[in-house]
């Protein structure tokens, strides 16, 4: 299925999301952000999906936010319609119930790196470049580049990209922990599918729980992981069944402390 500028396909237990604006090196605009949100909902709704892959069409993964999309916005519009809206979409993808692999088939710069950064695993082709060039335009990273990326890659690495304007090769990014694996040119998606197979072979419930636990341990969530885990546990108890039954039958609940 295609949701505007994002294509979604399912292969076995893997969901493959492809950002599709190749003529602009998959630069992100408001329509693409909306399409990413729709794609995330589609992946969540597919109970057969155990892992997801995010990649780009053509020669680029994503060149970041399209300057033409935000350059003319008023400051308040930029803050709300662009930055905060983008944050909500990125958080939606970061908190998918299934592990997410970013297959970096091309450069991931600015918002493109922030998009890749929300994945659980990153696989990069050897020819790509990675960086946060925003300050060279008088702008700052706005979609968690100074927040999530610091938690995941470390503050010093982000300083080098955001303050020093350093652009890293795929191999340099692997050495710095920005990407997990480097593959040959044109092979990122296949390598991601192979890794996805490893993930999909493991227990789906355990994968979902571990992803929530890691998010909590790394300080990336606002307590939602703890509440999600607690709710899943409560939903399996005999007490909940009794509570629902008593409500339906209009009688006092007789709880027994049953797990």
pLDDT at 193: 98
Q: How many CA atoms lie within 13 A of 230 on its CB side?
A: 6
pLDDT at 3: 59
Q: Give the whole-number percent of the chain exceeding pLDDT 90.
A: 67
Calpha distance 150→127 (Å, rounded): 24
- Per the model's pLDDT, the better-predicted residue between 125 and 256 turns out to be 125
Query: How long a stretch of residues is the chain?
Result: 259
Calpha distance 13→29 (Å, rounded): 29
pLDDT at 222: 64
Say if residue 10's pLDDT is above 90.
Answer: yes
Which residue, chain included where needed, has tokens 């509440």? 227
Burial of 250 (0-12, 13-18, 19+ CB in 10 A): exposed
Mean pLDDT of the 40-64 span: 95
Burial of 58 (0-12, 13-18, 19+ CB in 10 A): middle
Mean pLDDT of the 140-155 span: 91
Question: Annotated catalytic sites, by residue?
Answer: 114, 134
pLDDT in tens, 234-244: 888 888 888 88
pLDDT at 243: 87
Mean pLDDT, the chain, whole residue set? 91
Contacts of 135 (CB under 8 A, 6+ apart): 162, 163, 165
Contacts of 206 (CB under 8 A, 6+ apart): none
């Amino acid at each position: 299925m295609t949701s505007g500028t994002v294509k979604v396909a399912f292969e076995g237990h893997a969901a493959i999301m492809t950002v599709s604006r190749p003529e602009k090196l998959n630069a992100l605009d408001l329509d693409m952000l909306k399409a990413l949100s729709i794609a995330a909902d589609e992946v969540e709704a597919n109970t057969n999906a155990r892992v997801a892959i995010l990649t780009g069409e053509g020669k680029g993964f994503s060149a970041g936010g399209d300057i033409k999309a935000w350059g003319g916005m008023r400051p308040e519009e930029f803050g709300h319609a662009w930055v905060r809206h983008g944050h909500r979409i990125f958080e939606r993808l970061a908190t998918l119930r299934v592990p997410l692999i970013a297959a970096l088939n091309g450069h991931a710069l600015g918002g493109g790196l922030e998009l890749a950064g929300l994945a659980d695993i990153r696989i990069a082709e050897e020819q790509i470049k990675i960086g946060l060039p925003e300050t060279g335009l008088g702008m700052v990273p706005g979609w968690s580049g100074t927040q999530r990326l610091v938690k995941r890659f470390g503050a010093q690495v982000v300083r080098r990209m955001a303050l020093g304007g350093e652009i890293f090769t795929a191999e340099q990014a692997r050495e710095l922990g920005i990407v997990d694996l480097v593959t040959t040119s044109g092979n990122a998606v296949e390598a991601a599918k192979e890794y996805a197979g490893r993930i999909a072979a493991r227990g789906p419930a355990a994968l979902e729980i571990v992803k929530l636990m890691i998010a909590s341990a790394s300080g990336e969530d606002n307590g939602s992981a703890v509440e999600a885990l607690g709710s899943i546990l409560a939903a399996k108890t005999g007490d909940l069944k009794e509570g629902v039954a008593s409500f339906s039958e209009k009688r006092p609940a007789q709880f027994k402390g049953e797990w």
